[in-house]
Amino acid sequence: MRQQIAAANWKMNLTLDQATRLLDEIVASPHHLQAHQKVILAVPFPYLALAKAKLSGKPNFFVAAQNCHTQSSGAFTGETSAEMLRSVGVEYVILGHSERREYFGESNAVLEEKVGMALTYGLTPVFCCGESLPVREAGTQNEYVENQLKESLFNLSEEQFLKLVIAYEPIWAIGTGKTASAAQAQEMHAHLRKVIAGRYGSGVADQIPVLYGGSVKGNNATELFSQPDVDGGLVGGASLVASDFEKIIEALK
Ligand code: PGA
Protein backbone atom coordinates (compact mmCIF):
# COMPACT_ATOMS: atom_id res chain seq x y z
CA MET A 1 0.00 0.00 0.00
CA ARG A 2 1.31 3.47 -0.92
CA GLN A 3 2.19 5.86 1.88
CA GLN A 4 -0.37 8.55 2.73
CA ILE A 5 1.12 11.79 4.02
CA ALA A 6 -0.15 14.99 5.60
CA ALA A 7 2.78 17.41 5.42
CA ALA A 8 2.75 20.81 7.10
CA ASN A 9 4.79 23.61 5.57
CA TRP A 10 5.02 26.34 8.19
CA LYS A 11 7.09 28.54 5.83
CA MET A 12 8.54 31.61 7.63
CA ASN A 13 5.86 31.80 10.30
CA LEU A 14 5.57 31.65 14.11
CA THR A 15 7.77 32.81 16.96
CA LEU A 16 9.32 30.29 19.36
CA ASP A 17 6.37 30.64 21.78
CA GLN A 18 3.84 30.16 19.02
CA ALA A 19 5.72 27.22 17.54
CA THR A 20 5.96 25.56 20.97
CA ARG A 21 2.23 25.98 21.52
CA LEU A 22 1.32 24.57 18.11
CA LEU A 23 3.62 21.58 18.58
CA ASP A 24 2.13 20.92 22.02
CA GLU A 25 -1.38 21.03 20.58
CA ILE A 26 -0.46 18.62 17.79
CA VAL A 27 1.23 16.24 20.22
CA ALA A 28 -1.77 16.33 22.58
CA SER A 29 -4.33 15.40 19.91
CA PRO A 30 -5.26 11.75 19.67
CA HIS A 31 -4.26 10.34 16.29
CA HIS A 32 -5.34 7.07 14.80
CA LEU A 33 -2.79 6.69 12.09
CA GLN A 34 -2.38 3.40 10.29
CA ALA A 35 1.05 2.04 9.42
CA HIS A 36 1.04 3.58 5.92
CA GLN A 37 -0.02 7.05 7.14
CA LYS A 38 2.52 9.72 8.10
CA VAL A 39 2.54 13.29 9.30
CA ILE A 40 5.52 15.48 8.41
CA LEU A 41 6.10 18.91 9.95
CA ALA A 42 8.36 21.23 7.94
CA VAL A 43 9.26 23.87 10.49
CA PRO A 44 11.70 26.81 10.27
CA PHE A 45 15.36 25.93 10.96
CA PRO A 46 15.47 27.35 14.54
CA TYR A 47 12.65 24.99 15.62
CA LEU A 48 13.89 21.74 14.07
CA ALA A 49 15.49 20.36 17.23
CA LEU A 50 12.48 21.46 19.30
CA ALA A 51 10.08 19.72 16.89
CA LYS A 52 12.23 16.58 17.00
CA ALA A 53 12.10 16.54 20.79
CA LYS A 54 8.37 17.25 21.00
CA LEU A 55 7.49 14.52 18.48
CA SER A 56 9.79 11.90 19.97
CA GLY A 57 6.90 9.89 21.45
CA LYS A 58 4.73 10.06 18.33
CA PRO A 59 5.29 7.24 15.88
CA ASN A 60 4.41 8.17 12.28
CA PHE A 61 5.34 11.82 12.94
CA PHE A 62 8.45 13.21 11.26
CA VAL A 63 10.32 16.49 11.02
CA ALA A 64 11.31 18.23 7.79
CA ALA A 65 13.41 21.22 6.86
CA GLN A 66 12.20 23.57 4.15
CA ASN A 67 15.46 23.77 2.21
CA CYS A 68 19.09 22.69 2.23
CA HIS A 69 22.24 23.77 0.43
CA THR A 70 23.96 22.07 -2.51
CA GLN A 71 27.20 21.57 -0.50
CA SER A 72 27.76 19.66 2.73
CA SER A 73 29.85 22.36 4.46
CA GLY A 74 32.00 25.38 3.78
CA ALA A 75 32.02 29.15 3.41
CA PHE A 76 28.34 29.66 2.60
CA THR A 77 27.23 32.20 5.19
CA GLY A 78 23.60 31.83 6.18
CA GLU A 79 23.13 28.41 4.61
CA THR A 80 22.28 25.01 6.13
CA SER A 81 23.50 21.69 4.79
CA ALA A 82 21.81 18.33 4.48
CA GLU A 83 24.54 16.89 6.71
CA MET A 84 23.66 19.37 9.48
CA LEU A 85 19.97 18.55 9.15
CA ARG A 86 20.69 14.86 9.45
CA SER A 87 22.84 15.49 12.51
CA VAL A 88 19.89 17.02 14.37
CA GLY A 89 17.66 14.09 13.42
CA VAL A 90 15.69 15.64 10.57
CA GLU A 91 14.21 13.02 8.24
CA TYR A 92 12.73 14.99 5.34
CA VAL A 93 13.51 18.15 3.39
CA ILE A 94 11.20 20.12 1.10
CA LEU A 95 13.04 20.95 -2.11
CA GLY A 96 11.89 22.97 -5.09
CA HIS A 97 9.01 24.77 -3.45
CA SER A 98 7.72 27.40 -5.89
CA GLU A 99 8.63 30.16 -3.42
CA ARG A 100 12.25 28.98 -3.45
CA ARG A 101 12.20 28.76 -7.23
CA GLU A 102 10.67 32.24 -7.61
CA TYR A 103 12.31 34.31 -4.85
CA PHE A 104 15.66 32.53 -4.59
CA GLY A 105 16.19 31.63 -8.23
CA GLU A 106 16.38 27.88 -7.70
CA SER A 107 16.62 26.24 -11.12
CA ASN A 108 15.93 22.63 -12.03
CA ALA A 109 19.72 22.13 -12.20
CA VAL A 110 20.32 23.51 -8.69
CA LEU A 111 17.48 21.37 -7.39
CA GLU A 112 19.04 18.29 -8.94
CA GLU A 113 22.16 19.01 -6.86
CA LYS A 114 20.12 19.58 -3.70
CA VAL A 115 18.16 16.35 -4.18
CA GLY A 116 21.44 14.47 -4.60
CA MET A 117 22.87 16.04 -1.44
CA ALA A 118 19.73 15.25 0.59
CA LEU A 119 19.81 11.61 -0.51
CA THR A 120 23.53 11.37 0.26
CA TYR A 121 22.80 12.25 3.88
CA GLY A 122 19.76 10.01 4.20
CA LEU A 123 17.12 12.73 4.01
CA THR A 124 13.95 12.13 2.03
CA PRO A 125 13.31 14.98 -0.40
CA VAL A 126 9.72 16.19 -0.71
CA PHE A 127 10.21 17.43 -4.24
CA CYS A 128 7.76 20.14 -5.31
CA CYS A 129 6.68 20.84 -8.84
CA GLY A 130 3.85 22.86 -10.32
CA GLU A 131 2.92 25.39 -12.97
CA SER A 132 2.04 29.09 -12.86
CA LEU A 133 -1.31 30.48 -13.99
CA PRO A 134 -0.07 31.60 -17.44
CA VAL A 135 1.27 28.09 -18.09
CA ARG A 136 -2.06 26.58 -17.03
CA GLU A 137 -3.96 29.07 -19.19
CA ALA A 138 -1.78 28.18 -22.16
CA GLY A 139 -2.66 24.52 -21.56
CA THR A 140 0.99 23.43 -21.34
CA GLN A 141 1.03 22.43 -17.66
CA ASN A 142 1.68 18.74 -18.34
CA GLU A 143 4.83 19.38 -20.34
CA TYR A 144 5.99 22.06 -17.87
CA VAL A 145 5.73 19.86 -14.81
CA GLU A 146 7.09 16.84 -16.66
CA ASN A 147 10.17 18.91 -17.52
CA GLN A 148 10.69 19.86 -13.85
CA LEU A 149 10.80 16.17 -12.97
CA LYS A 150 13.00 15.21 -15.90
CA GLU A 151 15.61 17.92 -15.28
CA SER A 152 15.88 17.52 -11.51
CA LEU A 153 15.14 13.85 -10.87
CA PHE A 154 15.50 11.60 -13.86
CA ASN A 155 19.25 11.07 -13.51
CA LEU A 156 18.63 9.33 -10.18
CA SER A 157 18.94 5.57 -10.02
CA GLU A 158 15.75 3.59 -9.47
CA GLU A 159 16.83 2.90 -5.90
CA GLN A 160 17.30 6.63 -5.23
CA PHE A 161 14.08 7.59 -6.96
CA LEU A 162 12.09 5.21 -4.79
CA LYS A 163 13.12 7.25 -1.74
CA LEU A 164 11.33 10.41 -2.96
CA VAL A 165 8.06 12.04 -2.12
CA ILE A 166 6.64 14.24 -4.90
CA ALA A 167 4.33 17.19 -4.24
CA TYR A 168 2.33 18.73 -7.07
CA GLU A 169 1.57 22.35 -6.15
CA PRO A 170 0.03 24.52 -8.86
CA ILE A 171 1.36 28.01 -8.09
CA TRP A 172 -2.01 29.61 -8.79
CA ALA A 173 -3.48 27.62 -5.91
CA ILE A 174 -0.84 28.39 -3.26
CA GLY A 175 -2.04 30.75 -0.55
CA THR A 176 -4.80 32.01 -2.84
CA GLY A 177 -7.73 30.04 -1.46
CA LYS A 178 -8.16 28.75 -5.02
CA THR A 179 -7.74 24.99 -4.82
CA ALA A 180 -7.30 22.88 -7.92
CA SER A 181 -10.45 20.83 -8.31
CA ALA A 182 -10.13 17.22 -7.26
CA ALA A 183 -10.39 16.32 -10.96
CA GLN A 184 -7.57 18.73 -11.91
CA ALA A 185 -5.36 17.32 -9.15
CA GLN A 186 -6.11 13.73 -10.16
CA GLU A 187 -5.42 14.48 -13.82
CA MET A 188 -1.96 15.91 -13.09
CA HIS A 189 -1.08 13.22 -10.56
CA ALA A 190 -2.00 10.51 -13.06
CA HIS A 191 0.10 12.30 -15.67
CA LEU A 192 3.09 12.45 -13.29
CA ARG A 193 2.76 8.76 -12.56
CA LYS A 194 2.67 8.04 -16.30
CA VAL A 195 5.84 10.09 -16.85
CA ILE A 196 7.56 8.33 -13.93
CA ALA A 197 6.44 4.95 -15.31
CA GLY A 198 7.98 5.89 -18.67
CA ARG A 199 11.36 6.44 -17.02
CA TYR A 200 11.40 3.95 -14.12
CA GLY A 201 8.59 1.50 -14.89
CA SER A 202 5.07 1.21 -13.51
CA GLY A 203 6.17 -0.65 -10.39
CA VAL A 204 8.15 2.41 -9.26
CA ALA A 205 5.44 4.86 -10.38
CA ASP A 206 2.84 3.00 -8.34
CA GLN A 207 4.92 3.20 -5.17
CA ILE A 208 5.87 6.88 -5.12
CA PRO A 209 3.68 9.06 -2.89
CA VAL A 210 2.41 12.10 -4.82
CA LEU A 211 0.97 14.83 -2.59
CA TYR A 212 -1.23 17.72 -3.67
CA GLY A 213 -0.56 21.23 -2.35
CA GLY A 214 -2.30 24.55 -2.81
CA SER A 215 -5.01 25.77 -0.42
CA VAL A 216 -5.67 22.36 1.10
CA LYS A 217 -8.11 22.92 3.97
CA GLY A 218 -10.14 20.83 6.39
CA ASN A 219 -13.17 21.16 4.14
CA ASN A 220 -11.59 20.06 0.85
CA ALA A 221 -8.98 17.52 2.00
CA THR A 222 -11.30 14.52 1.98
CA GLU A 223 -12.36 15.05 -1.62
CA LEU A 224 -8.79 15.71 -2.80
CA PHE A 225 -7.31 12.75 -0.92
CA SER A 226 -10.02 10.40 -2.18
CA GLN A 227 -8.66 10.68 -5.72
CA PRO A 228 -6.84 7.48 -6.66
CA ASP A 229 -3.50 9.15 -7.41
CA VAL A 230 -3.53 11.75 -4.61
CA ASP A 231 -1.64 10.42 -1.59
CA GLY A 232 -2.15 13.30 0.82
CA GLY A 233 -1.26 16.97 0.94
CA LEU A 234 1.43 19.58 1.48
CA VAL A 235 -0.31 22.20 3.55
CA GLY A 236 0.70 25.81 4.20
CA GLY A 237 -1.84 28.15 5.81
CA ALA A 238 -4.09 25.48 7.30
CA SER A 239 -1.14 23.79 9.01
CA LEU A 240 -0.65 26.76 11.35
CA VAL A 241 -3.84 26.09 13.31
CA ALA A 242 -3.86 22.74 15.13
CA SER A 243 -7.60 22.08 14.74
CA ASP A 244 -7.46 22.80 10.99
CA PHE A 245 -4.44 20.58 10.46
CA GLU A 246 -6.06 17.80 12.51
CA LYS A 247 -8.95 17.69 10.04
CA ILE A 248 -6.48 17.27 7.20
CA ILE A 249 -4.69 14.44 9.02
CA GLU A 250 -8.05 12.77 9.56
CA ALA A 251 -8.78 13.01 5.84
CA LEU A 252 -5.91 10.62 4.97
CA LYS A 253 -7.35 7.45 3.47
P1 PGA B 1 -1.14 26.87 1.14
O2 PGA B 1 0.43 26.57 0.86
O3 PGA B 1 -1.72 25.60 1.73
O4 PGA B 1 -1.14 28.01 2.08
O5 PGA B 1 -1.76 27.18 -0.20
C6 PGA B 1 0.85 25.34 0.36
C7 PGA B 1 2.34 25.37 0.11
O8 PGA B 1 2.85 26.39 -0.36
O9 PGA B 1 3.05 24.38 0.38
Strands 232-235 and 92-95: unpaired
CATH number of 133's domain: 3.20.20.70
Q: Residue 28 class from Cβ within 10 Å (0-12 exposed, 13-18 middle, 19+ buried)?
A: exposed
Can you give the pTM of this predicted structure? 0.97
Determine the straight-line distance between the first and last CA of the chain, rounded to whole angstroms: 11
Provide the pLDDT for residue 177: 83
φ and ψ at residue 129, rounded to 5 degrees: -140, 165
Q: From atom 2 of ligand 1, which residue's Cα is the shortest distance away?
A: 236
pLDDT tens-digit map of 167-187 = 999 999 988 888 889 999 999
Provide the pLDDT for residue 92: 98
Question: How far is 169 from 117, CA to CA, in rounded Å?
Answer: 23
Question: How far is 42 from 29, CA to CA, in rounded Å?
Answer: 18
Query: 249 CA distance to ligand 1 centroid (A)?
Result: 15
Helix, coil or strand: residue 118: helix
Question: How far is 185 from 191, CA to CA, in rounded Å?
Answer: 10
The boundaries of the domain holding residue 185 are 4-250
| Cβ count near 163 (within 10 Å) | 15
Query: 201 CA distance to ligand 1 centroid (A)?
Result: 30
DSSP of 126-179, one letter per residue?
Answer: EEEE---HHHHHHT-HHHHHHHHHHHHHTTS-HHHHTT-EEEE--GGGTTSS-P
Provide the pLDDT for residue 17: 98
pLDDT tens-digit map of 192-220 = 999 999 999 999 999 999 999 999 999 99
- Let me know if 169 is a catalytic residue: yes
- Active-site pick, 99, 131, 146, 169: 169
pLDDT tens-digit map of 16-52 = 999 999 999 999 998 889 999 999 999 999 999 999 9
> In the chain, how many domains are there?
1
Q: Is 215 in the pocket of ligand 1 (CB under 6 A)?
A: yes
